[in-house]
Amino acid sequence: MPEGGSVVWAYMTGITAILVAMVAPFLGSYADSSGKFKELIVFFICIGSIATGLLWFARPDTAFITYAIIFSAISIFFLESSFIFYNAMLGKITKKENIGTLSGIAWGGGYIGAVIALTIVLAVFILPESPAFSLDKSDSEHIRATMLFAAGWAIIFSLPIMIYLPSFRKQERRYSIFSSLKQSLVEAAKIRYMTRFLFARMAYNDGLVTLFAFGGIYAAKVFNFSQLEIILFAICLNISAGFGAMIGGYIDDSIGPLKTIKIGLIGLFLCGLVAIITPYKLLFWFVGIGLGLFVGPIQSASRTYISLEASDIYKGGLFGLYMVSGKLTSFIGPLLYGWLVMLSGYDRIGMSVVLVLIAAGYLLLPPKDNTRN
């Protein structure tokens, strides 16, 4: 990446996240009003995947910076926004009795799929001295080819949605997008503890964003992880998060999403605390894997909570607000981490911001789980 590239990339991802947060409630409300959940998710995935694939043409030259930034932003915006419709369909395709299990399996499958995709990319494109398809390393073709792979991967694993998912009927009374958004906001305010839950999710999600953004950097600087160790650590973390999400799904159906989230946050806090204070590399490995086991259930149960609380005609709008709670302040954790490291000179102190955000999220959570009534 050219000099200043990291700054440009940070600005792009930050601005894109804010744009997603701004339009998410409108997109969700439009899906509620029109009933076009399937059509919207297919459209957004296809546009995002095409933009990803077009990054193949971004050569390692400063002349391609604008091109790369534009298509990266389009890719991130459309693929992230597709989750509004994806999450909203959860409660439409399964019964309440097993919604946690389905959510956990799907979320866990995403983590496991990411590990498989990463392994293929490393084995086929990155690690070989002579990459597949006679790709030219001097022109970074082995790196650029990963964009084509990612685009194809997204399309292929979206085919079941495109082929088998039914279309949903629109509301009998058609609202404008603004009226539908207003109704969604009113619905969110009427649901007991919903506003409180969204603020809680905003806090602990910022903690998760910071953890994933700086986990590798923290491991490298504090425990002297090599590049290979960082890759292996990321793979182990994703595998444990995948299995954690699947196991957490069954727990979710048994005790409810709110208790599942609380247990996950407690486990995450304790593992994070050990990771910050321990001087032992081996112990850091163990608690790092433990972090993954608790991250998966938190993420899976969070969307289960929204799906169970929202009525069918407002699921899109409420998942739009759910997206806002995950994107609007996602810069705060990384920003605080950077400030603390800059002021103290210690990455351990910087990582403590994750514990603060996790604790804040736990304390803000509703005292009672309405989904169990």
Token pair belonging to 347 = 């990455």
pLDDT-above-70 percentage for the chain = 94
With a cut of 80, say whether residue 13 has pLDDT above it: yes
Hey, what CATH class is 5-165+179-366 in? mainly alpha
In the predicted model, what is the mean pLDDT of residues 101-122?
A: 93
What is the pLDDT, as a whole number, of residue 17? 87
- Cα separation, 277 vs 180, in Å, equals 49
What is the pLDDT, as a whole number, of residue 172? 53
- Name the residue ranges covered by the structural domains of the chain: 5-165+179-366
Q: Write out the DSSP string of 304-336.
A: HHHHHHS-GGGHHHHHHHHHHHHHTTTTHHHHH
With a cut of 80, say whether residue 1 has pLDDT above it: no
The amino acid occupying position 349 is I
Nearest to 261 by CA among 138, 127, 144, 100: 100
pLDDT digits (tens, 9 = 90+) for 15-28: 898 899 889 988 98
Nearest to 81 by CA among 42, 119, 111, 139: 42
Which of 30-34, 164-168, 242-246 has the highest mean predicted lDDT (pLDDT)?
A: 242-246
Q: CB-hemisphere CA count at 13 Å for 35?
A: 9
SS3 content of the chain, % helix, strand, coil (to 5): 85, 0, 15
Token pair belonging to 344 = 């103290």
With a cut of 70, say whether residue 335 has pLDDT above it: yes
Which of 7-21, 32-46, 130-144 has the highest mean predicted lDDT (pLDDT)?
A: 32-46
Whether 293 contacts 237, CB under 8 Å: no
CB atoms within 10 A of CB 121: 18
- Cα separation, 220 vs 183, in Å, equals 48
- Cα separation, 304 vs 103, in Å, equals 7
Whether 302 contacts 318, CB under 8 Å: no
Token pair belonging to 155 = 């399309």
- Is residue 92 very low, low, confident or very high in pLDDT (cuts 50, 70, 90)? confident
In the predicted model, what is the mean pLDDT of residues 199-219?
A: 90
Token pair belonging to 228 = 């290979």
- Is residue 314 very low, low, confident or very high in pLDDT (cuts 50, 70, 90)? confident
Nearest to 117 by CA among 93, 161, 153, 89: 153
Please give the radius of gyration of the chain, using alpha carbons only, rounded to the nearest integer.
Answer: 21
Token pair belonging to 62 = 């400063």
Q: What is the average pLDDT value for the chain, to the nearest integer?
A: 88
Rama region for 352: left / alpha / beta (φ>0; ψ in -120 to 50; rest): alpha
In the predicted model, what is the mean pLDDT of residues 263-276?
A: 95
* Between 61 and 99, the higher pLDDT residue: 99
Q: Is 172 exposed, middle or buried (0-12, 13-18, 19+ CB in 10 A)?
A: exposed
